[in-house]
Structure 1
Amino acid sequence: MGFDKDSFDLEKQFTFYASYHANRVNVAIHLVCVWPILATAMLLLQLSSYCFLTHLPMPHALQNLPFGLQAPLNLALVMAIIYIVSYFAMEPIAGGLGALMVAGLYFGTWKMVSEDWYVGGYPIWQAAWVIFFLAWTFQFIGHGVFEGRAPALLDSLDQALITGGLFVLLEIFFFFGYRQDFYHKMMDQVRTNIEEFRESNKKGQ
């Protein structure tokens, strides 16, 4: 995963991701599945605290934050920081909300793991694996059956994984009239990208 100046360019990131999500059914599937995937991935990465010989506590300066005393430095925190910084850098309103949601996921999933939560009689991590697998399955069905195009992650893994959650929030914001001029400008480019993809497919047949 690499970062450059385009990594925080909302127009480029959104048009890239939206070019792979033009079918309404596929978009609806992603609206439902993307954040559960982020939540379960965060929870599973919380288990990295137990995969090392030791795990580091929060620095003393951060221990006064909510839940900071209990939450360790682990792979889930690395994930949270990457997403929070990326979302804030790309879009202040929807991205700010997304950043707060990611922070909530970090502390919430740590609470679940540290307190050994159970769902339907099964450890929370087992339930997380089931949700994670099912959500990804539905998304691949969305691409294969409805979109007719491979997922964005096959072309740019880091762009797809990071942009997905923000894409969902922006789709909701745009639906309610947020930044319409910017939205239509991006969608013009998305339609151009899709036409170019279809033309290249015809030439390849």
Structure 2
Amino acid sequence: MNSFFRRQLADYVEYHRDPWNCAMHVLGIVLLFLGAVLPLSSLPVPAFGAQANAATIAVLPVLIYWLLLDAALGTAIVGAAVLLLLAAAMIVNHTTAAGMWSITAVLIMIGIASQIVGHRVFERRQPALVDNPSHLLLGPMFVMAKLFIALGFRRDLAAIIQQVPKITPHGSLQYSEQLHGEPHPHT
């Protein structure tokens, strides 16, 4: 795990403390990814003498980015992405164009709604990507990190994600600086 990812994850966690919000993100991120790749899966693209689709080509840069941020989490996300790309291809092969667009719209609406409900109802805070648009790409890494921690792996990530706010002498909340080695940007 590089220091850039450590800082980004520590900042992202600030917006995702509530377990129900995190659960809504698991649902929302999966549905939004599937909704994004579904229409692209219907566009064939010849690549290196083989037949691929635009979805596979489109996700490669972000998959590489996730692998560079953290090899283990990135590899797990690649595995999940392959399954979702296969699901998208099966949907495209078994439905009409109108059906595919209807499914895409429903997936995106439910995905966005789950994110909004998670932040408004449970977290009572605006989404992280409002303050930092790059957090749009951090959601899958956060969800996978939570899964790794729940399975007993990656104590280094647990130290960042499971930080407990502490009360400073002035009564304000401050997250432990020793856990990630530098002051938090919001303190």
Q: TM-score by structure 1 length? A: 0.69
Following superposition, the deviation at residue 93 of structure 1 comes to 1.9
Q: Which structure 1 residue ranges, 5 or more long, are not aligned?
A: 1-5, 50-54, 64-68, 198-205
- Secondary structure of 2:41's partner? helix
Which residue number in structure 1 is paired with residue 181 of structure 2? none
Question: 2:8 is matched with which residue: 13, 26, 43?
Answer: 13
Which residue number in structure 2 is paired with residue 22 of structure 1? 17
Measure the CA separation in 1 of the matches of 2:39 and 2:135. Answer: 19
Contact 1:117 1:123 in 2 (8 A): yes
1:47-62 to structure 2, matched below 5 A, reads 49=43, 56-60=45-49
Measure the CA separation in 2 of the matches of 1:81 and 1:191. Answer: 37
Deviations 1:81-116 (A, max 9, x none): 122102211222222010122233334423432x25
Which residue number in structure 2 is paired with residue 117 of structure 1? 95
Measure the CA separation in 1 of the matches of 2:132 and 2:120. Answer: 18
The Cα RMSD (Å) is 2.8
Q: Which structure 2 residue ranges, 5 or more long, are not aligned?
A: 167-171, 176-187
Matched, 1:155 2:155: no
Deviations 1:153-201 (A, max 9, x none): 21222x222111121111011112212144214544x847x9369xxxx
1:180-191 to structure 2, matched below 5 A, reads 180-188=155-163, 191=165
Give runs of ≥4 in structure 1 deviating > 6 Å: none
Measure the CA separation in 2 of the matches of 1:17 and 1:186. Answer: 9
Following superposition, the deviation at residue 12 of structure 1 comes to 1.9
- Secondary structure of 1:9's partner? helix
Which residue number in structure 2 is paired with residue 134 of structure 1? 110
Measure the CA separation in 1 of the matches of 2:13 and 2:160. Answer: 13
Following superposition, the deviation at residue 143 of structure 1 comes to 0.6
Aligned pair in 2 of structure 1 residues 138, 175: CA closer, same or farther (>3 Å)? Answer: same
Q: How many aligned residue pairs are there?
A: 168
Which residue number in structure 2 is paired with residue 203 of structure 1? none
